Amino acid sequence: MAPAQQGLTLQVQMHYTGSGTVDETHKIYVALWDSADFVDHGAPPIAVKSTTSKNGTVTFSDIQKSPVYVSAAYDPTGQWDAQSEPPKGSSFGMYSKAPPKPEAINIAPGKAVKVTISFDDSNKAP
């Protein structure tokens, strides 16, 4: 039997420069996706983490496949639990070199990959 593949690790550094206050109530949620189709089809993410800082970092470990994609949404309402679509007016960002197309993140076993998502209030959830 082949040994089980070690889980993959991804660190996502946030840089939110929008006007909203990020704190324990108004978090930035970072979603991990296994397909770029999340933009058009709204499939559920494979994992969600949150940060309470405009420049916070979240780490996804034990990822089972590569490549992956990441997006971020700021909760201006203080009511969202990231189990549904972001509230209307939420600021939104993603890891991308050519927005609005998400960029694939390739992760090799045994190596942690770090990416940065920078976003402001210019992209809002409908």
**Tens-place pLDDT, residues 77-113:** 999 999 888 999 999 999 999 888 999 999 988 889 9
How far apart (Å, rounded) are the C-alpha atoms in residues 111 and 61? 11
In this prediction, residue 3 has a pLDDT band, given cuts at 50, 70 and 90, of: very low
The SS3 assignment for 29 reads: strand
- Return the CATH class of domain 8-119: mainly beta
- pLDDT grade, residue 115 (50/70/90)? very high
Q: Which of 100, 104, 105, 103 is nearest to 125 (CA)?
A: 100
Distance CA 108, CA 18 (A): 33
- Top-confidence residue, 2 or 66: 66
Beta strands in the chain (DSSP E): 8-16, 28-33, 47-51, 57-63, 69-74, 92-94, 112-119
pLDDT for the residue numbered 2: 40
- Two tokens, residue 38: 């999340």
Confidence of residue 59 (pLDDT cuts 50, 70, 90): very high
Radius of gyration of the chain (CA): 14
pLDDT in tens, 10-50: 999 999 999 999 999 999 999 999 999 988 877 889 999 99
User: What ranges do the domains of the chain cover?
Assistant: 8-119
- Alpha-carbon distance of 43 to 99, in angstroms, equals 19
| 1 pLDDT higher than 60 | no
pLDDT for 126 equals 74
Cis peptide preceding 100, ω within 30 of 0: yes
